[in-house]
Amino acid sequence: MSRAGIKAVLQTRKAEDKTPPGPRGNLLWGSASAIRRDILGFFLHAVREYGDIIRYRFMIWPGYFVNHPDYVKHILIDNNRNYNKNTPGFETLRWIVGNGLVTSEGDLWLRQRRLMQPSFHKQRLASFATVMTQAAAETAESWEQIARRGEVLDVDEEMMRLTLKIAGLTLFSMDISGKADTVGQAFTYANKFVTEYLYRRIPRNLPLPRNRKFEEALRTLDQVVSAIIRERRARGEDTGDLLSMLLHARDEDTGEGMDDRQLRDEVMTLLLAGHETTANALTWTWYLLSKHPLVMRRLQSELAEVLGGRLPTVDDLPKLCYTRMVIDEALRLYPPAWMMSRQATEDDEIGGYRIPAKTIVFFSPYVVHRHPSFWENPEGFDPERFTPERSAGRPRFAYLPFGGGPRLCIGNNFALMEAQLILATLAQRYQLELVPGHRVEPEPLITLRPRYGLRMVVKHYSA
């Protein structure tokens, strides 16, 4: 055998033998208690201590966690065919959204992705801008009296209501903002329930009040989705929106339409993925702006300069560079999709370590976005780190609020445009200040939310 051959064999052996380092935790439970106590802190600390790939144990389940942009790229792009979504996180998400675009795989996923992609093309999105700005302007109007009286708002709830309204109008041509509280409460419970399940694994089929309440929340969400589908079928018209496309899609071979279950799963997926994440992104943005008055002032001066008091349009977006950087930076510090997971189908190797088939591999935008090798002063809120000059040379997967590769968020441009238009509309008129003493800390459920909501005082902005 040649020297190169021997070296290759030795290297393979090395990877075969090597298990990544990591916290050993308790003899019985591994790191379960530490993870339940503070999962964000646990992984931030673990990568600092053990490096960019670690192995840990959660009760009887071993897990791998990778934190280098190259390793993430390996999973999402280079070897993406070896990684599927058979993970506990996606399993529990399927309880809520079924087998829609986020959770499905293989041929079904590809067919549905191709079907929906045109609804998210840039040109198509541009036609949503007016709806987005109009809805934001209505919110601005509704804040007028509140600002005059110096009252307090639950900004997290306001953002949910607004983005739900926009999702309904743009994707389903329906105003479902009247359902905001019903959807909000049901989804919040479901969100907490599945997180709790992942931590405690209390069987879902036991006759416990918490399980019954979860079934109730699912029924409520189902009713909202069924009503959306029923109403559109009754109208019968083709409005050219995403829901119409789903309703009128025909299989190329069989000529059959989507069955009711698939339709329900796709609508539920779009309803939840299409508003909850963007609402969280905006909520965190308001929080960060309230903590950084200089950034807020700079944002407001850009808005005054570009818009001069009028409402933003899609043509203004490229000029609202600072507004966009504020959103990018908020998504870095508080990425709503804060944890992602995949299962290896076959044996693989990452960073010189063997990844056995069936291993569940996790990576977290929240943790990668704080990697000190790629982010200077990682905890600081500094929108200008997203200028082209300062972004140059940063690896693609040092920043992944929307994931990447074939499973890149289909709504990323939709969400960014929406966030930019909403922020521009509201921030040129108002300043939001955190209620003194209100505690703010991230609550890592399926999405990252402020645990105690976000109570803020609304004030008129005066230059």
Residue 163 C-beta: closest distance to ligand HEM, Å: 8
Residue 365 C-beta: closest distance to ligand HEM, Å: 7
Q: Which residue is nearest to ligand HEM (CB)?
A: 411
**DSSP-based three-state secondary structure for 448:** strand
Indicate the residue among 407 and 455 with the shorter CB distance to ligand HEM. 407
Indicate the residue among 30 and 401 with the shorter CB distance to ligand HEM. 401
Residue 29 C-beta: closest distance to ligand HEM, Å: 27
Q: What does the binding site for ligand HEM look like in residue numbers (CB under 6 A)? A: 101-102, 113, 269-270, 273-274, 277-278, 281, 336-337, 340, 401-403, 407, 409-411, 414-415
Question: Is residue 334 within 8 Å of residue 74, measured between CB atoms?
Answer: no
Q: Round to whole Å and give the CA distance between 304 and 320.
A: 10
Query: What are phi and psi for residue 401, nearest 5 degrees?
Result: -60, -25
Cα-based distances in Å from 224 to 172, 175, 176, 221, 387: 12, 12, 9, 5, 42
Residue 341 C-beta: closest distance to ligand HEM, Å: 7
The total of other beta-carbon atoms located within 10 Å of residue 405's CB is 15
Indicate the residue among 54 and 272 with the shorter CB distance to ligand HEM. 272
Instruction: Put residue 66 in one of left, alpha, beta given phi > 0 → left and psi -120 to 50 → alpha.
Output: beta
Tell me which residue of 124, 137, 223, 128 sits closest to 166, measured CA to CA. Answer: 128
Indicate the residue among 371 and 407 with the shorter CB distance to ligand HEM. 407
Indicate the residue among 6 and 110 with the shorter CB distance to ligand HEM. 110
**DSSP-based three-state secondary structure for 429:** coil
Residue 129 C-beta: closest distance to ligand HEM, Å: 14
Indicate the residue among 58 and 402 with the shorter CB distance to ligand HEM. 402
Residue 436 C-beta: closest distance to ligand HEM, Å: 29
Structure tokens, 87 = 């993970």
Residue 269 C-beta: closest distance to ligand HEM, Å: 6
Largest CA distance in the chain: 83
- List of E strands, 282-439: 340-344, 348-350, 353-355, 360-363, 430-434
Residue 276 C-beta: closest distance to ligand HEM, Å: 8
Residue 338 C-beta: closest distance to ligand HEM, Å: 9
Spatial neighbors of 253 by CB under 8 A, at least 6 apart, are: none
Indicate the residue among 34 and 156 with the shorter CB distance to ligand HEM. 156
The total of other beta-carbon atoms located within 10 Å of residue 456's CB is 23
Indicate the residue among 258 and 337 with the shorter CB distance to ligand HEM. 337
Cα-based distances in Å from 124 to 116, 208, 243, 343, 393: 12, 46, 14, 34, 32
Residue 157 C-beta: closest distance to ligand HEM, Å: 17
The pairing of strands 83-84 and 348-350 is unpaired
Indicate the residue among 350 and 410 with the shorter CB distance to ligand HEM. 410
Cα-based distances in Å from 399 to 305, 329, 338, 374: 29, 10, 12, 9
Q: Round to whole Å and give the CA distance between 173 and 175.
A: 7
Indicate the residue among 340 and 424 with the shorter CB distance to ligand HEM. 340
Structure tokens, 150 = 């110096």
Consecutive H or E run containing 35: helix 32-37
Query: What's the sign of the alpha-carbon dihedral 196, 200, 203, 206?
Result: negative
Indicate the residue among 278 and 431 with the shorter CB distance to ligand HEM. 278
Indicate the residue among 225 and 410 with the shorter CB distance to ligand HEM. 410
> What value, to the nearest 5°, has the Cα angle with vertex 453 and ends 416 and 197?
90
Residue 144 C-beta: closest distance to ligand HEM, Å: 27
Bridge partner residues of 354 (DSSP)? 349
Question: Is residue 425 within 8 Å of residue 312, measured between CB atoms?
Answer: yes
Query: What are phi and psi for residue 53, nearest 5 degrees?
Result: -140, 125
Residue 167 C-beta: closest distance to ligand HEM, Å: 6
